[in-house]
Structure 1
């Protein structure tokens, strides 16, 4: 089985740890001006990457492409990290370029994900059976 679902989940968990840490630091300092960075780390990073990883687990056929599967991961994970960093630069230094570029790359990665997932879902093939450890 491909390691790609685990890589998506590890990247997601790293975003969750950084996003949660930022949220705690903002709460302690009572300074919430970086709330958009925190929110995007948790939503784009944790939630979206985790759901992509679980989708790769449910449909292992997604990971069969030696070109598109790694491309999907690097575009998604890379831009999920770059986007909040770009939001930080936009807030703190009025430099929105990275946020704009990363948002467009993330959008492209979500389109690629949709285009790869749709044929699998519409083919009415059963998802891989989940194995539950006892």
Structure 2
């Protein structure tokens, strides 16, 4: 079984790398017209995916659900449609792709909230899966 946390982190790193390269290209060309698309690639592609990966690493029982795979797919689809959709919207070639990507991004964040409420985080999550409860931090 794949580690959903690993896939979120790896995809996030890829998006971050692409965003950095794109930012360097914009800086070198002195053309920042597409910076909103670059920003969304970094924010959803790198930041949100990294946070999602961190959550699933802290809540392994949530990571083992089919819903976690749906969450990953939904987030990847959001980035894959929203980023070029913003480019198309900025260049007056239509806003449909950006709208679809935006709805998918909202769905991804809503699903993230649901996963947190359903599965908990850290110690709370460990207690639900039968793990040992932490009563004090190490060294206390």
* TM-score bracket, shorter-length normalisation: 0.7 to 0.9
Q: Is it true that 1:55 corresponds to 2:58 in the alignment?
A: no
Indicate the residue corresponding to 2:3 in structure 1.
Answer: 3
Q: How many residue pairs get matched? A: 127
Q: What do the CA deviations read for 1:59-106 (whole angstroms, capped 9, x no partner)?
A: 0111121x2111110001221222111101111233110000011011
Q: Which residue of 1 aligns with 2:97?
A: 98
Structure 2 counterpart of 1:114: 113
Once the two structures are superposed, the pairs formed by residues 1-134 of structure 1 within 5 Å of their partners are 2-65=2-65, 67-121=66-120, 124-126=124-126
Q: Deviations over 1:106-129 (max 9, x none)?
A: 11111111111113327834488x
In structure 1, list runs of 5 or more residues that go unmatched: 129-134
Q: CA deviation at 1:2?
A: 4.8
TM-score scaled by structure 1? 0.86
Give secondary structure in 1 for the equivalent of 2:79. helix
Check whether the contact 2:61–2:125 (CA below 8 A) recurs between aligned residues: no
Equivalent-residue separation in structure 1 for 2:126 and 2:70 (angstroms): 25
Q: Which runs of 4+ in 1 moved over 2 A?
A: 119-128
- Superposition TM-score, scaled by structure 2 size: 0.83
- Checking the alignment, whether the CA contact within 8 Å between 2:59 and 2:125 is kept in structure 1 is no
Superposition CA RMSD, Å: 2.0
Contact 1:82–1:99 under 8 Å retained in 2: yes
